[in-house]
Amino acid sequence: MMKEDPLERLDRQARESQNGGLKKTMNILIGVAAALAILLAYIWISKASLVRDLNMEKADLTEQIVSLQGDYDNLSSDYDTINAQLDSSREEVAQLVERIKKTDATNRAKMRQYEKELGTLRSIMRNYIVQIDSLNTLNHELTQQVAAARKDAAASKKANAELSERVQNLSGQVAAGSVIKARGLRLDPYNSTDKITDRSSRVVRMLATLSLVENDLAPKGPTRVYIRVKDPEGILLVNSNQISFNCQGQTMMASASREVDYEGKEVELSIYLNDIPSFNKGVYTVEAYTEQALLGTAEVLLR
């Protein structure tokens, strides 16, 4: 057997050592790569799982908000103030639905904010329900009290008569109020012999007549009635007195006026319009006023 050359042996050992080192390094690199691959896979799977969970949370939160929106839509009351508040809250819920639909599920801060807003809107809705229930209960109690009062009133003829009188008085107050009203407004043209005529060339003055109707609720005492007479062209006829008055905050000129003593009973009165140089053919209109309201209008045709 030939004896191995020492130099060759050293060379061979160096090569074997080098090959072993490379193999070991390769094994280490493969192990690191495998570990990184496993880590990346774990991270990806964890992220995918987290995103899935966040999407599920968003879907659940969206479903709760949409459900609350339906609850608000189904909630109603007989009270204007609460209905106005409900409309405002419905608008807030609708805006919240739109905002959550446009927000990414991974935006945790926004999702937590929407959860808080949902809780607040739920609390507000519970408060609405309590208010409506309380008002309905109170209304029911008041209805029962009214029914009981009517039943008690019916037990006695005298009480029933007093109640009927009160109802009539209240009805009269609602219908008539405290404003003086009038009826039967007329405008008649007169000639120089104090006879009514419809010939424009013969008219020398006009007379407005009306009645202030009975109204116990109206203010009593001196009351001035004003008339405004307009010619066929809509021009206000005024005499030398140049009367003006204020009605419901508006200052107007009057053709003539007259003061009467009104004590809540019916009063008939007449107001002359004199000192008008001439009258043309056509339709003349008259409006009667107090300082509180318009009493009525009428027309007359001159030929």
Query: Residue 266 is encoded by which pair of tokens?
Result: 């019916």
H-type helices in the chain, by residue range?
A: 6-74, 80-102, 108-154, 157-176
Domains assigned to the chain: 13-155 (no CATH), 182-302 (2.60.40.2560)
Determine the 3-state secondary structure of 229 from DSSP.
strand
- Per-residue pLDDT, averaged over 223-245, amounts to 92
Residue 182 confidence (pLDDT): 93
Tens digits of per-residue pLDDT, 94-132?
A: 888 888 888 887 788 888 898 888 888 888 888 888 888
Residue 50 confidence (pLDDT): 52
184, 217, 220, 267 from 213: Cα distances, Å: 10, 12, 13, 7
pLDDT over 80 (residue 183)? yes
Q: Could you tell me how far CA 265 lies from the centroid of its own chain?
A: 42
Query: Residue 5 is encoded by which pair of tokens?
Result: 């050359």
Give dist(CA 36, CA 40) in Å, integer.
Answer: 6
For helices 80-102 and 108-154, what crossing angle results, to 10°?
Answer: 160
- Per-residue pLDDT, averaged over 205-231, amounts to 94
Kindly report the average pLDDT of the chain as a whole number.
84
Reported as a pLDDT band with limits 50, 70 and 90, residue 254 is very high
Among residues 236, 211, 204, the alpha carbon closest in space to that of 302 is found at: 204
pLDDT over 60 (residue 2)? no
- Per-residue pLDDT, averaged over 138-146, amounts to 81
Residue 251 confidence (pLDDT): 94
